[in-house]
Amino acid sequence: SGIQLVLGRAFGRLGQTERATDILKKIPVHSPQYVKSRQLLVELAKTDKEKLDILDGIEKDKPGRAGVLVQKMRILLGADRPADAIKAYRWFVGEYAKNRPAPSAASFLAVTAMLAGNDHPAASALAADMAEKTRAPMWRHLAILLNMDRKADSAARMLPSVEKTLIFDALLGMVLSVQKGDDASCRKWADRLDQIDRELAKLSRPISVRKRYSLLAAIIAGRLPQARKELKRFTNFDVGRTAAAELVSHAGRVGRSASAAEAAKLLKASLAIDLGLAELGREWALDVFKARPGCQWAAAVVLGQNPDNETLKFMLKNVRPRNCSLVRIIEAGLLARQKKYEEAAEVYRKAVKAEGHNPRLVYEQARMCEAAGLFDRALKLYVEVWKATQEPGAANNAAYLAAQLYPKDADRLGEALKWIDAAIKADPRVAEFRDTKGWIAFLLGKKEQARTEVRRAVAILRGSPEVHYHLGVIEADAGNRDLARWHLMAVADNASAIKSGGGELTVAEVKAKWLAKEALAGLDRKEK
């Protein structure tokens, strides 16, 4: 059964869903691999009902499995059924975790479900209970964050002493101090954060407290010269650069009390997002925006958390000033959701012209051009951004488009290879970069290097039609016809999975699907 599990997982990764399903279903209930095999079947199932039925079957045959509970809760939350997710959690805890901490991953999902159901007291209580039982920093942070509005004194008691605190505790301490109106305590937390920053700077590989945290903390502490200094850390590729400048300017106009209160709310929103509570963070940031539509920082935080169309329209109507870049970003976002990519690109072009050269806006213009299939224009814009900022994502996108547009031009491909090598040097962990390099290497005749790079990429990007197409072609060229066929067939399967999941195929993915079909036909002709 161990071999069957490995084979089933492998076929699933290759997009061979039916073959994987047939193999995994044959693993018997008495096998040590039974639960894992059924959990893999859940991943391969197409509908929520099918997935939940399989999980119910596991629970009947092998009860008390925390991983099964987590899988079930994720499906229920994805189906917008938070009450059912909470019910499943509470049943499991009552049956299997009466005298010990509940599974941490399931408890976090329960907190998320409670917040989604607007039961903040229950979420706060659960976080506090998990913090007490596990003594884990993550749960302490969540408990402080969720309890500070209703039980500020209780939340404050969860904080360690100032001299022992680390970054998150210091930031939470600052927010609590503002809410309680305790300036002396706020200064102590701010001093501790500065001390942590100095200690980080002494490391063999120096790092620093995140710039958005440092800037908000400086405003909260009333240290505007420090806040203005922090502005220099925001590059011309940051969407938040203008928003940060507005925030500091506003703090200088309204005085310490009002600016600290606003910055503390924004800091609380960012902490929620970084702790995994994206919807709560978005809600808190939106509250700040509603109170002051000129707070571009709040608007930017909301935009970064994929708000619905109604929220976007509300922000578009109210954001101030009317000529700021966020107005155009929201306009373009709404157009993109309507698949009006060329119109969205035009909005960005006008924004670039109005603001002078803003590389971030140019990058977004390039993305919209690419989505519209305007590859020549997108390539020029990505190169422009790369030269101005050395942004790895721009280098990768430029290199990939160059490979699409000039697959037989050695000079162009050589230039593209330099771009992608620079991107990989900047961040070698990004699988998309490896795929791009592998495909360019293949086009340049570097076959072994190509296969190595794209195999690395496909292990992570299992659902990408493009990566499977690339590897299918590379394996076919090497004479590995079975592997080639698997990968080329996975292109259509992955494309179908994207569409059935509510997603839309990009122009490049549609092209990969068509090319994979042609390549499969070519394999069939050769075998005949």
Going from the first residue of the chain to its last (528 residues), give the mean pLDDT of each consecutive group of 10, the final group possibly shorter.
81 74 90 92 89 94 93 95 96 86 93 96 96 94 95 94 91 96 94 93 86 95 95 75 92 94 97 96 97 95 93 95 88 94 96 84 95 96 95 97 96 97 95 97 96 93 92 94 89 84 84 93 79
Per-residue CA distances from 403 to 414, 432, 442, 457, 505 (Å):
10, 14, 10, 17, 20
Question: Tokens 């067939």 map to which residue?
Answer: 489
What's the pTM?
Answer: 0.86
Q: Determine the residue type at 19.
A: R
Residue 524: how many CB atoms within 10 A of its CB?
10
The pLDDT value given to residue 303: 92
Q: Determine the residue type at 264.
A: A
CB 186 within 8 A of CB 236: no
Phi-psi region of 502 (alpha: psi -120 to 50; beta: other; left: phi over 0): left
Q: Which long-range contacts (CB under 8 A, 24 or more apart) does 57-60 make?
A: none
Cα 129–chain centre separation: 28
Alpha helices (H) in 117-182, listed in sequence order: 120-134, 137-147, 152-157, 167-180
- Radius of gyration from C-alpha coordinates of the chain: 26
Contacts for 59 with CB less than 8 Å, ≥ 6 apart: 65, 68
Phi-psi region of 100 (alpha: psi -120 to 50; beta: other; left: phi over 0): beta
Nearest to 193 by CA among 164, 215, 171: 171
CB 4 within 8 A of CB 20: no
Angle at CA 440, nearest 5°, toward 438 and 441? 60
Give the sign of the dihedral formed by CA 122, CA 125, CA 127, CA 129.
Answer: negative
Residue 514: how many CB atoms within 10 A of its CB?
13
Nearest to 376 by CA among 350, 412, 411: 412
CB 131 within 8 A of CB 143: yes
The pLDDT value given to residue 17: 77
The pLDDT value given to residue 445: 96
| C-alpha–C-alpha distance, residues 416 and 97, integer Å | 56
Nearest to 234 by CA among 250, 223, 222, 247: 247
Nearest to 15 by CA among 516, 388, 523: 516
The CA-to-CA distance between both ends of the chain, in Å, stands at 35
| C-alpha–C-alpha distance, residues 369 and 341, integer Å | 7
| C-alpha–C-alpha distance, residues 317 and 289, integer Å | 12
CB 523 within 8 A of CB 481: yes
Helix 211-220, helix 240-254: angle, nearest 10: 10
Per-state percent for the chain, helix, strand, coil, to nearest 5: 75, 0, 25
